[in-house]
Chain A
Amino acid sequence: MNENTVKIKDPVLSIRNLSVSYEKGKYAVNDVSADIKRNAVTAIMGPSGCGKSTMLRAINRMHELYENIETKGTLIMNGKDITHMPTIQLRRMAGMVFQRPNPFPTMSIYDNVVAGYKLNGIRMKRSERDDIVERSLRDVTLWDEVKDNLHRKGTFLSGGQQQRLCIARALAFDPEVILLDEPTSALDPVATAKIEDLLVKLKENYSILMVTHNMAQAARISDYSMFMYLGELVEYDKTKDMFTNPRDRRTEEYLTGKFG
């Protein structure tokens, strides 16, 4: 770990020497080590192409969808080595939310929330399922808006509502961490504000790791921030400290808008 990395006690997730390359010798993520704080919002910032998305996807191994990928390093979630855990199991522990809202177009709102259970063929009582749907939708403050239309298609909702539905879908498995890949970049300011409020509220019960290219957003809602540049973790600190007193020159230049 380099000296610009904050120490965190009892982390929910430890990333150790993580490297990801798409091509031999070219690293999208280069030897990143960091501990992620439990019940907090951690933001990953950086200019486009800095590897922030790749790093996020390396955690639940969604990056394996790309070809010729090579990953090195260790990931430890709640003290358990998840580096080689089967993805099917791993992805239930690390829920993911994407840039664009992507509810399943053929499913109702209700089915979208429990899609993880349904698609995996996990059987449960109707009452249990109803409980999960209600709890998840309440968690994302969508319940009051959709409770009378649970069996309408999820795609009828507005963009912001759809994104909250997607967060509810990720929460339904009660994951250890929630990974968000620029979750508001396709939304209007009002919907963005709602999602931001929601994330701040969610951290009471969940640990959140979020990629954002929006510095102001990171400053508003995150407790800890990482700054990545060219695949490297340049600086990782409490958001307050990083924004007021960056330790690395590159962080300072990025935060003051000299590049990015």
Chain B
Amino acid sequence: MESLANLSSKNLERRNLKDRLFKGLVIFLSMLTISPIVLIIYKLIEKGIRQISFDFILKTPPDTFQAMTALSNGELIPGGIANGITGTLLMVTLASVIAIPVGVITGIYLYENPDKFMANITRNISDILQGVPSIVLGLIAYIWVVKPITSGFSALAGSVSLAIMMLPMIVRSTEETLKMIPQSIKEAALALGVPYYKVLLRVLIPTGFSGLLTGILLGISRILGETAPLMLTALGSSVINLDITKPTSAVPLLIWEFYNDPNMVDLIWSSSLLLMAMVLGLNLLSKRIAARTK
């Protein structure tokens, strides 16, 4: 019989080898996963950074002729995407104003009545809503808002389609956040004779505030780059527009327009870089908030 010490040392060598192999594989696959985002950011910076300036944020896009002249003179394309930035901010703000109260209240309802028939239906429908293609939401907003309410393409219609997109994320994150608050905190407040609605508003929501905020920020970062529904609702505009009943531009809409104009292609990269920075910024912010309260 082989001695126990010999056996284990032989075994150990094989185990170490396997361990190293596996570690290598894990590292390789992780690299593979993060490589797209690194490459995307690299490409956007490489191609887009030279267009970024104060003018890019403060001015509206040039017309085709100006862009062509600049290109043939070997200069940077003048102007910027101020109309897109303001339009995006306008529509995202309006969408948040619509979606946040509705979503949070629905989430609270689901948390309060986990097993009720209506709650189950609401939860399932909200999940299905998350899977509805965004262009379909654009069509719906077209029928609901563009035709009957603003009788024409409008920022309001764009906001409605974006709000519907945000809604399921907010509903779910609200419910999950509230579920994570220990029951004992709720009991403590109730045992002080606090009426239930005040327990909810002044104890549960403040306690879960960072969770709610994280869900909302992720929802916003998701709609920030939406293009398809806006094509059917906000349409786009070459000037800065702050009237919610009028057609309005947005950063992703501008990217699509620049793509269709051979003279403006250079602006695609800088616009994408800006959009990407906004989305990444929001994501990092929400991660920060989530981490701080753990």
Given contacts A106-B206, A120-B198, contact A100 B184 (CB under 8 A): yes
A40–B191 alpha-carbon span in the complex (Å): 22
Chain B residues with Cβ under 8 A from A98's Cβ?
184, 187-188, 191
Q: For the complex, is A246 an interface residue (Cβ under 8 Å from B)?
A: no
Chain B residues with Cβ under 8 A from A99's Cβ?
184
Give the interface centre of B189, B190, B195, B198 by most chain A CB atoms within 10 Å.
Answer: B190
Q: Name the CB-closest residue of B to A166.
A: B188
Q: Tell me which of A62, A106, A118, A169 contacts B190 (CB under 8 A).
A: A62
Q: Tell me which of B182, B193, B198, B202 contacts A90 (CB under 8 A).
A: B193
A140-179 vs B, Cβ < 8 Å mask (1 yes, 0 no): 0000000000000000000000000010011001000000
Q: A107: shortest Cβ distance to chain B, in Å?
A: 9
Give the interface centre of A91, A102, A103 by most chain B CB atoms within 10 Å.
Answer: A102
A87 B188 Cβ-Cβ under 8 A: no
Chain A residues with Cβ under 8 A from B198's Cβ?
119-121
Interface positions, chain B 176-190, Cβ under 8 Å from A, are 182, 184-185, 187-190
Given contacts A98-B184, A102-B182, contact A92 B190 (CB under 8 A): no
B189 A91 Cβ-Cβ under 8 A: no
B187 A102 Cβ-Cβ under 8 A: yes
Given contacts A100-B184, A102-B185, contact A60 B191 (CB under 8 A): yes
A104–B189 alpha-carbon span in the complex (Å): 8
Q: For the complex, is B203 an interface residue (Cβ under 8 Å from A)?
A: yes
A101-128 vs B, Cβ < 8 Å mask (1 yes, 0 no): 0111110000000011011110000000
Q: B188: shortest Cβ distance to chain A, in Å?
A: 4
Chain B residues with Cβ under 8 A from A103's Cβ?
188
Hey, which bits of chain A sit against chain B, CB under 8 A?
Answer: 60, 62, 65, 87-92, 95-96, 98-100, 102-106, 115-116, 118-121, 166, 169-170, 173
A-B contact pairs, 18 of them (CB 8 A): A60-B191, A62-B190, A65-B187, A88-B193, A88-B195, A90-B193, A91-B190, A91-B191, A96-B191, A98-B184, A98-B188, A99-B184, A104-B185, A118-B202, A119-B194, A120-B193, A120-B198, A169-B188
